[in-house]
Structure 1
């Protein structure tokens, strides 16, 4: 009896196992069929969705809602302005239209089925097998060369040496005597121009000396208004500032040093005011002989060094750094892109040794830096800044460049660039 029960139990377990295996096989078959259907979708015409194939939307449209049955098309919607779909697609959005880089012009406008097409401006080119980040200038053939192939937006001009022949009508023989006469004429013109500038300089110096002498004679030392030198430098008075403005002086006077006895520049209690011309005649000798005095021991110190008048009469230019040492932001006076582009030439003060480190710090690729190595230092800086501006777009800002210089311990260069940008009217301090 016990054996029969054991046999029935075993048979029951076997039946259950067979049922489980058959269900697993059925589910695996369904999954394999769905995978086969998904792999069987025709490329560029259909796209898989939930185990069946949906038909692509036409060029110029995108899939707004996917299909709900096999071999059906979902809801398609036209591409929005500024986007395109060149081929039938199963994507749920269109591609963004490309923007032409700086130095290139648009030849074909972007439509819903076609991207923007650009090419280099006339006089520049970019090879099709190279990354066209910056267009290069076309080569100009030399006078002794012939242009075999003109420059196009995708190829450079080709030149070859001109065949020198006495019968060649394109070669004009030059006479040595003509060159000699032209050289002599150039030398004479240069000499005359130099003489003209020397005469103007001498006249200006003579007028300056005359005004200086007249001011000395007309301005005796005021007992109540003695100019006491500070650290060997005297500050011009308001009268001197007014005289300088009335005379129309645009530039500051050069510093001059006169060695006079210090006793003649100070007021001694109970003594009378001494005119300047008396000082020049050496009236200091009539004073009591006090060689042991500390005042007479300073008689050889330069006490009448005149500062440039304009440096004290005019308001000092604003500084880039605040009182706490932090830099002030620059605000463009022109359009942001115009002010920034005009400021690129100011970056020629950068130390050549930090060029590559600087451009890497602002995100310029090594490939662009390598392509710019063929230019001279100033052209390299200008071209790589254009590449950076093109990559940054509306985010490009001169304050980002100045901060990058500060991070590289190039504060002197940053201050020079900021002050020159303000002086030229590209920016103002915030």
Structure 2
């Protein structure tokens, strides 16, 4: 009897020790049961209907999940102009994004990869920056020479041409017949002309300033008027018979207002269009929609497409009935992502989810 009692006390002690020792953190929310279940699955598998299934191969998407653990469900090949680059369990393939007008196709879209684009000749985009549009290749100044030509991913690199030592001050006059003078004469012209032009401009500005001060001291006043013509506002400054017109900066036309065809369904049908947002900008985009950093970071374990759809769903629940596609497009415009916004707008109109307000 004493042995049985001692054995029971030892078991209670061991169990109390096990349940009081903290388990190592996995970085998952304890309330997220699905995330804990997914830990059970091996790499390359996903959790569905209480079992682990193998991912579909690249170039396909999931049509129906498996019914036997460790096996692959029914996969379907991607349609034309869609792709999946890696093994996945997406319910639809990703649409291929076509090259912009300032780009050329390097590799066509296939079932396993998107279009591969690069800037056309004369333009470039650096890989470490988001490429909304190709920048124009620079040209070297007359006193420079190109050490590396412009490519699709890098700008022209120029190097300053320094004058030979025999041309430095104190070495005597230039030999205008020497080949060195012919090679560098344009650089010398520029070096002489620029200071002269700047000096002349400073003299003109100084003369105008003195003229205005003398006129004010003489009791005169400047005639400053406001000219309104054909809906345009121009500030006219008249000075001694010379009229200087200052026009306000040009305003771009506002983005067209879109009207949903089927209310909430139209908006949710457009969520997958926002997968076009580059991974470089997506966090800034959702911060623009007033989602917290914690909410955004909690979705980083998801695949990119699922993450976009999930965060837009959170935004919709937060905004409620006031949510509309126009606010999402405006957020892109505020981030200077006009090309992406125009692409999403075109798809929403082409697929019949929205119509322009002016067409009603």
Same fold (TM over 0.5): no
TM-score by length of 2: 0.42
Structure 1 or 2: larger helix share? 1
Q: Which has the larger radius of gyration?
A: 1
TM-score by length of 1: 0.36
Q: Larger relative contact order (C-alpha < 8 A, sep ≥ 6)?
A: 1
